[in-house]
């Protein structure tokens, strides 16, 4: 009998083309952004590339009927717009080229115009783009309609369902007289109907997918000296609106005291809107009023995500309140970009303020005891391409608050790639007992790693050499038992324990001293000796010497302290010539 290999080698070669249906593009497009903030981020990135100094987003909260993104950037020409419309996806390749810089503020170009527009298909059916180029006296208005794209997605989904029904049906018996059970009959009928429907709808792949259409009205008169782009999104996806309005969201997620006041999510959202962005971030940092990230209205989570992912500035005191010089160059660079983002009249800053939670409440947390900071830096060649990044990993002895800051945030060209990776590049998956929830870090990748970006631009291909190199570096920094941050955290635990023991001992001996003075009627004073002695204590003159290293003391610190207390109390009472009755009462008062 021939083996499989022998059998194959005996045949002439076979050419099997690998095909990808263009319909897959629709699925990629449909699932490219997992959150509203992820899609809006792309529009903000476009404004950043256009050298805008201020981007204003107006969401129409709490109704969310439309979203408007306005910038004062250089604007775009009709030709640029037409090009972007005709070839969405080509700009995906742009980040792979060498870094380019904007003319006015020397910002690294993110280059996602096409993707930015594709992002719109995720959140609305219609969009209006109005843009005036700097120095031009005309503008253009483009009306985009994505309903066709959405229709194609639903058509594709239906086709997939119908195909499953058709293909899973059992084979009809060749012998028509043979008996067929009812279930098979029903399946066959369904398959027939599916086949018919597929034929009726005429669903087939096309050469290039059309996302929709747009009508451009160019050469409209523009107001002199005005420039910039305004994008208005209308007919928002019902899912987007429902989510932003917190409709159908369980009240249980709210902080307890808000629940007890009987507020709705909308009312809670309005109440939070009264806080400035910094106040809100501070409340989350310290969990004031039990405010946690998951207890935030969706609108505020949207703001948070936007602030993390876009190149806005840090708060003056951020990101690390305990170490001002960390990321100092990056902070200066972001200031130099002069880029600001206002959402519903609220200026956003990076919401990163550490230490937080219980450690944050401590007015003067101590390094290597309450927190530990490890800078990250690299500049070398990996797999033939330069990989350059810098950042930090921060550990604190309690959980990082809010939870959205746990993990690692990676930025490429100052744009956040997704949100904080809570697995620490899979470290916590490999080491489940790691202190992942106590760590927070940021890594700014200046060169490299872009090739590892997945099409959603929110995650990485984990087998890419650059990603692996970064992952190894991070793993080394985090380390494990006895090494890296994890080792430091263990040391910190023992140091804290030791310090606590010392403080407890000090308080204990101070208490004993007072007791001795009181019981001996000020005749004796306590002195604690570190010398080893066969006696637990002796009286020399007016001093009661307590030998802490006496080998007979019990090992348990509680029992040891009790024994010491009893002994010195009795000795002091005897010295004061107390009666046996008094001594008995004294012992009782100490024991019970």
Question: What is the spatial distance between Cα 198 and Cα 148, in angstroms, rounded to a whole number?
Answer: 19
CB of 203 to other proteins, least distance (A): 22
Give 342 or 468: the residue with its C-beta nearer to other proteins. 342
Give 25 or 69: the residue with its C-beta nearer to other proteins. 69
How distant, in Å, are the alpha carbons of 114, 254, 297, 357, 471 from that of 262? Answer: 45, 10, 15, 27, 46
- Contact between 453 and 462 under an 8 Å Cβ cutoff? The reply is no
DSSP-derived secondary structure letter, 173: P
For residues 267 to 296, the per-residue mask of contacts with other proteins, x marking binding by CB under 8 A and - elsewhere, is x--x--xx----------------------
How distant, in Å, are the alpha carbons of 135, 184, 185, 306, 427 from that of 407? Answer: 45, 52, 54, 17, 10
234 binds other proteins (CB under 8 A): no
Copy the structure tokens of residue 244.
């932003």
Q: Among candidates 42, 58, 38, which has minimal Cα distance to 50?
A: 42
The residue ranges of DSSP E strands in 500-536, in sequence order, are 525-529
CB of 272 to other proteins, least distance (A): 12
Copy the structure tokens of residue 438.
């106590």
CB of 129 to other proteins, least distance (A): 12
- Contact between 168 and 268 under an 8 Å Cβ cutoff? The reply is no
223 binds other proteins (CB under 8 A): yes
Which member of 3, 177, 345, 463 binds other proteins (CB under 8 A)?
345
Which member of 37, 56, 410, 470 binds other proteins (CB under 8 A)?
56
71 binds other proteins (CB under 8 A): yes
CB of 273 to other proteins, least distance (A): 7
306 binds other proteins (CB under 8 A): no
DSSP-derived secondary structure letter, 342: E
CB of 51 to other proteins, least distance (A): 14
Which member of 14, 175, 183, 225 binds other proteins (CB under 8 A)?
225
For residues 36 to 55, the per-residue mask of contacts with other proteins, x marking binding by CB under 8 A and - elsewhere, is ------------------xx
Give 71 or 370: the residue with its C-beta nearer to other proteins. 71
Surface-to-core class of residue 366, CB atoms within 10 Å of its CB (0-12 exposed, 13-18 middle, 19+ buried): middle
340 binds other proteins (CB under 8 A): yes
**Which of positions 110-139 make contact with other proteins (CB under 8 A)?**
139
What's the N-to-C CA distance of the chain in angstroms?
A: 91
Q: How many CB atoms lie within 10 A of CB 494?
A: 9
Q: Among candidates 270, 296, 274, 245, which has minimal Cα distance to 403?
A: 296
Which member of 50, 211, 222, 312 binds other proteins (CB under 8 A)?
222
Question: What is the spatial distance between Cα 591 and Cα 562, in angstroms, rounded to a whole number?
Answer: 8
Per CB under 8 A, which region of 93-101, 202-210, 344-352, 464-472 contacts other proteins?
344-352
Question: What is the spatial distance between Cα 294 and Cα 289, in angstroms, rounded to a whole number?
Answer: 14
Question: What is the spatial distance between Cα 511 and Cα 100, in angstroms, rounded to a whole number?
Answer: 70
CB of 10 to other proteins, least distance (A): 59
Question: What is the spatial distance between Cα 47 and Cα 41, in angstroms, rounded to a whole number?
Answer: 10
CB of 231 to other proteins, least distance (A): 11
Q: How many CB atoms lie within 10 A of CB 524?
A: 21
Which member of 70, 91, 434, 561 binds other proteins (CB under 8 A)?
70
148 binds other proteins (CB under 8 A): no
74 binds other proteins (CB under 8 A): no
List all residues 6 or more positions away from 12 whose beta carbon is below 8 Å from its beta carbon.
Answer: none
266 binds other proteins (CB under 8 A): yes
Give 204 or 225: the residue with its C-beta nearer to other proteins. 225
Which member of 27, 62, 362, 468 binds other proteins (CB under 8 A)?
62
Instruction: Output Rg (C-alpha) for the chain, integer angstroms.
Output: 34
- Contact between 122 and 237 under an 8 Å Cβ cutoff? The reply is yes
96 binds other proteins (CB under 8 A): no
Mode of pairing for the β-strands spanning 439-447 and 124-132:
unpaired
Give 229 or 458: the residue with its C-beta nearer to other proteins. 229
Among left, alpha and beta (phi > 0; psi -120 to 50; other), residue 51 is left
Per CB under 8 A, which region of 56-64, 185-193, 365-373, 408-416 contacts other proteins?
56-64
591 binds other proteins (CB under 8 A): no
561 binds other proteins (CB under 8 A): no
476 binds other proteins (CB under 8 A): no
Binding site for other proteins (CB under 8 A): 54-58, 60, 62, 68, 70-72, 139, 141, 143, 215, 217, 220-225, 228, 230, 266-267, 270, 273-274, 340, 342, 344-347
């Amino acid at each position: 009998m021939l083996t499989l290999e022998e059998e194959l080698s005996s045949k002439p070669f076979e050419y099997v083309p690998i095909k990808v249906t263009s319909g897959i593009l629709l699925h990629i497009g449909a699932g490219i952004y997992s959150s509203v903030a992820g899609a809006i981020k792309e529009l903000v990135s476009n404004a950043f590339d256009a050298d805008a100094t201020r981007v204003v987003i107006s969401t129409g909260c709490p109704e969310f009927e439309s979203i408007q993104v306005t910038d004062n950037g250089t604007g775009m020409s009709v030709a640029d717009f037409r090009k972007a419309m005709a070839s969405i996806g080509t700009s995906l390749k742009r980040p792979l080229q060498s870094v380019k810089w904007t003319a006015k503020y020397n910002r690294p170009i993110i280059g996602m115009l096409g993707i930015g527009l594709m992002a719109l298909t995720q959140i609305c059916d219609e969009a209006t783009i109005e843009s005036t180029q700097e120095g031009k006296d005309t503008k253009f208005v483009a009306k985009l309609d994505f309903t066709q794209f959405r229709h194609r997605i639903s058509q594709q989904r239906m086709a997939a369902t119908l195909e499953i029904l058709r293909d899973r049906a059992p084979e009809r018996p060749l012998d028509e007289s043979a008996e067929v059970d009812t279930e098979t009959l029903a399946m066959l009928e369904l398959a027939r109907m599916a086949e018919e429907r597929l034929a009726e709808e005429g669903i087939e792949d096309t050469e290039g997918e059309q996302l929709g259409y747009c009508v451009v009205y160019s050469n409209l008169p523009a107001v002199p000296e005005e420039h910039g782009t305004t994008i208005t999104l209308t007919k928002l996806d019902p899912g987007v609106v429902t989510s932003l309005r917190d409709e159908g969201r369980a009240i249980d997620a709210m902080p307890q005291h808000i629940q007890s006041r009987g507020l709705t999510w909308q009312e809670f959202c309005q109440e939070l809107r009264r806080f400035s962005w910094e106040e809100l971030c501070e409340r989350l940092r310290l969990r004031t009023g039990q405010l946690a990230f998951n207890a935030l209205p969706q609108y505020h989570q949207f703001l948070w995500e936007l602030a993390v992912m876009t190149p806005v500035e840090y708060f003056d005191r951020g990101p690390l309140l305990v170490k001002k010089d960390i990321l100092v160059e990056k902070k200066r660079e972001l200031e130099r970009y002069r880029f600001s983002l206002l959402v519903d009249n609220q200026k956003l800053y990076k919401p990163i303020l550490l230490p937080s939670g219980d450690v944050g409440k401590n007015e003067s947390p101590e390094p290597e005891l309450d927190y530990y900071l490890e800078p990250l830096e690299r500049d070398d060649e990996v797999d033939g391409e330069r990989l350059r990044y810098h950042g930090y990993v921060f550990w604190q002895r309690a959980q990082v608050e809010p939870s959205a800051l746990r993990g690692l945030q990676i930025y490429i060209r100052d744009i956040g790639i997704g949100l904080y990776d809570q697995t620490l590049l899979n470290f916590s998956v490999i080491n489940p007992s790691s202190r992942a929830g106590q760590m927070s870090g940021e890594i700014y990748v200046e060169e490299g790693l872009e090739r590892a970006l997945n099409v959603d631009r929110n995650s990485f291909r984990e087998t890419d050499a650059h990603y692996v190199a970064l992952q190894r570096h991070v793993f080394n920094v985090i380390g494990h038992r006895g090494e890296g941050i994890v080792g430091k955290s263990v040391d910190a635990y023992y140091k804290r324990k030791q310090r606590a023991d010392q403080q407890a001992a000090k308080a204990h001996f101070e208490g004993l001293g007072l007791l001795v003075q009181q019981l001996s009627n000020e005749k004796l004073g306590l002195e604690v000796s570190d010398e080893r002695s066969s006696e637990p204590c002796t009286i020399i003159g007016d001093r009661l010497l307590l030998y802490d290293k006496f080998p007979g003391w019990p090992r348990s610190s509680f029992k040891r302290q009790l024994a010491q207390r009893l002994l010195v109390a009795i000795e002091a009472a005897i010295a004061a010539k107390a009666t046996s009755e008094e001594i008995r009462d004294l012992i009782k008062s100490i024991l019970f």
